[in-house]
A and B are shown apart, each in its own frame.
Chain A
Amino acid sequence: MQEREGLSAFIFDRLLPVGIVVIVILVLWYGFAVLMNAQFEQDQAARANVEISTSQLVANTMSQERPVLPAPHQVASEIWKTTALKKITSKRSLVYHAGITLSSTFLGFVMGTALGIGLAVLIVHSNVLDRSLMPWIITSQTVPILAVAPMIIVVLNAIGISGLLPKALISAYLSFFPVAVGMVKGLRSPDVMHLDLMRTYNSSKAQVFWKLRWPSAVPFLFTSMKVAVAISLVGAIVGELPTGAVAGLGARLLTGSYYGQTIQIWSALISAAVLAAVLVMLVDLASRIVMRRMGMAR
């Protein structure tokens, strides 16, 4: 295979294949929308005793009020209606709900990352903690924590803690793990040579940490933060489910499923997906900037 360079490489190796696959997915989506919604339209026609032409049937399947599978343009117009055309403070604005989800995601992400880094620092510096805590950190992730989310929310509500914090705690629990594991690896990544060099300089533990371990752990930190931010969004969304569906993207999912508002579910889902992608991209951007300033750019 011949190597392409620059812009043409970007177009032929990235844009074109990804674009074509996206188009294929959209076409399939429309196809399934027609197939899955057709039953309802046929029933309607049979009930009204009218013959329905195929073109009419297809057109109808795309504009149902509560379709089994909404067509992409319905979801797109719903997102447009609930983001651009509504006031941000309105309860029907998707921006409002996304903002609520985002704030608990962010708080949880910060708490989780801080906890993860703290645990990693302790583990790297204490042999006892390394051997006793590390197995439990791994075990803690085999507990399906999302399943516990409703209990954490309800119990914290009962003792008067409500709003942002309970949801953020779930996000924090989910996101501390990748950071802790990544940072343990990162803080141990310096070469034995470098560590020995620090010893010959007679440097203290703190100096080794700040001048050698921490800088070499930064790439690991950003890699694990990318994973962490994505799952803290999941945590925040699931944390919103049991609060009685007041606000947030998770609440939009739940009310949508209660009232059969499929278009609403899909638009909440798509915006959650976009949000996740944007968050991961932001962390990636931050990592590039920091790496460049530290002189570690690839």
Chain B
Amino acid sequence: MNTGIIVGAIAFWIGCWALNSWLVRLRPADRIVAGAINLLIPVLFGMTLIVLWEGITKGFNIPSVLLPSPSMIWVRIISSVDILWADFYQTFMKAVLAGFAIGCGSGFVAAIIVDRVPFLRKGLLPIGNLVAALPVVGIAPIMVMWFGFDWQSKAAVVIVMTFFPMLVNTVAGLSASGAMERDLMRTYASSYWQTLFKLRIPAAMPFIFNALKINSTLALIGAIVAEFFGTPIVGMGFRISTEVGRMNIDMVWAEIFVAALAGSLSYGLIALLERAVTFWHPSYRR
């Protein structure tokens, strides 16, 4: 046990906490400074977590098979960039992107059909709501059996996982436009398609982006879990399950880091896109 490191980490923690409490109480008039402070507070908090983690693992001499320290994980990330990239390419670029695009696209088209046919809305939507709450990852072994070990089976799992949230949310979104606006479109003698494209789809955008955000994490989970059931010898899920077996926990953490980075970046990208598309929405107005 190394008391110095632990005390240092805890001191850092208290220091950051005091700094944050001070930062929170600041009310700068300048908008840029306020934005910077808003960003700085969570960053400081995250840094504290990492320092505490490093301090505890180093200080208590926790064996790296249990919990490697952040610095060890970082060294591993740097030294095996090529493996991580190959896994990322296999899982994310091939399976996740293809599955996400097809799943969300078909969910959207199905929602428009469901919205057009009242019978389907009554019959299919309760089932869609049910399926959206089900453990869909369970179909992974079946998909692996049907579509083989390569990325196609993972994309199939992602398609099924992302389809239903998109369907349910888009149908909800399509009825979000107000009666007044729809009446206005009627007085303009606009056709069904004109109303759809000019009024109802734009009004549904917040709901659609909500589904996209949910799906962006679901897609990554689906692809990685599906790889537990069989893969070629590359892919993030494959690497995680084999390195766990070999007790190379730092490599697993490196893989988790890549997954977290990919997940956060795609989530952030969708959030930025949402801001650009639904700039009219009250939550983005200033």
Query: Within 8 Å of chain A (Cβ to Cβ): is B166?
Result: no
Across the interface, name the chain B residue whose C-beta is closest to A68.
Answer: B146
A175 to B47, CA, bound (A): 25
With A146-B137, A230-B133 known as contacts, the answer to whether A265 contacts B142 (CB < 8 A) is: yes
* B107 vs chain A, min Cβ distance (A): 17
Q: Are A18 and B224 in contact (CB under 8 A)?
A: no
Q: Specify which chain B residues have a CB less than 8 angstroms from the CB of A131 in the assembled complex.
A: 20, 24, 38, 41-42
Q: Specify which chain B residues have a CB less than 8 angstroms from the CB of A127 in the assembled complex.
A: 24
Using a CB-CB cutoff of 8 Å, which residues 93-152 of chain A contact chain B?
A: 127-128, 131-136, 139, 141-148, 150-151
Q: Are B134 and A230 in contact (CB under 8 A)?
A: yes
Using a CB-CB cutoff of 8 Å, which residues 11-36 of chain A contact chain B?
A: 13-14, 16-22, 25
Tell which of A19, A68, A144, A272 touches B224, judged by Cβ atoms closer than 8 Å. Answer: A144
Q: Are B122 and A142 in contact (CB under 8 A)?
A: no
Tell which of B21, B133, B259 touches A128, judged by Cβ atoms closer than 8 Å. Answer: B21
A249 to B264, CA, bound (A): 31
Of the four ranges (under 10, 10 to 19, 20 to 34, 35 or more), the interface on chain B belongs to 35 or more
With A155-B65, A257-B141, A265-B142 known as contacts, the answer to whether A146 contacts B123 (CB < 8 A) is: no
* A100 vs chain B, min Cβ distance (A): 15
Q: Specify which chain A residues have a CB less than 8 angstroms from the CB of B252 in the assembled complex.
A: 148, 151
Tell which of B65, B130, B140 touches A277, judged by Cβ atoms closer than 8 Å. Answer: B130
Q: Are B66 and A277 in contact (CB under 8 A)?
A: no
A46 to B225, CA, bound (A): 38
Q: Name the segment of B202-210, B237-245, B277-285 touching the other chain.
A: B237-245
A-B residue pair count with CB separations less than 8 angstroms: 161
Using a CB-CB cutoff of 8 Å, which residues 243-286 of chain A contact chain B?
A: 249, 253-254, 256-257, 260, 262, 265-266, 268-269, 272-273, 276-277, 280
Q: Specify which chain B residues have a CB less than 8 angstroms from the CB of A135 in the assembled complex.
A: 42
Tell which of A18, A68, A230, A272 touches B123, judged by Cβ atoms closer than 8 Å. Answer: A18
Query: Within 8 Å of chain A (Cβ to Cβ): is B81?
Result: no
Query: Within 8 Å of chain A (Cβ to Cβ): is B46?
Result: yes
Q: Are B256 and A148 in contact (CB under 8 A)?
A: yes
Using a CB-CB cutoff of 8 Å, which residues 165-193 of chain A contact chain B?
A: none
Interface CB pairs A-B, < 8 A, 8: A18-B122, A142-B263, A143-B260, A144-B220, A147-B256, A226-B133, A238-B137, A242-B228
Further 15 A-B residue pairs, CB within 8 A, beyond A132-B42, A155-B65? A16-B123, A17-B119, A131-B42, A132-B44, A136-B49, A142-B264, A147-B220, A151-B244, A154-B245, A234-B137, A254-B229, A257-B142, A257-B144, A257-B145, A277-B134
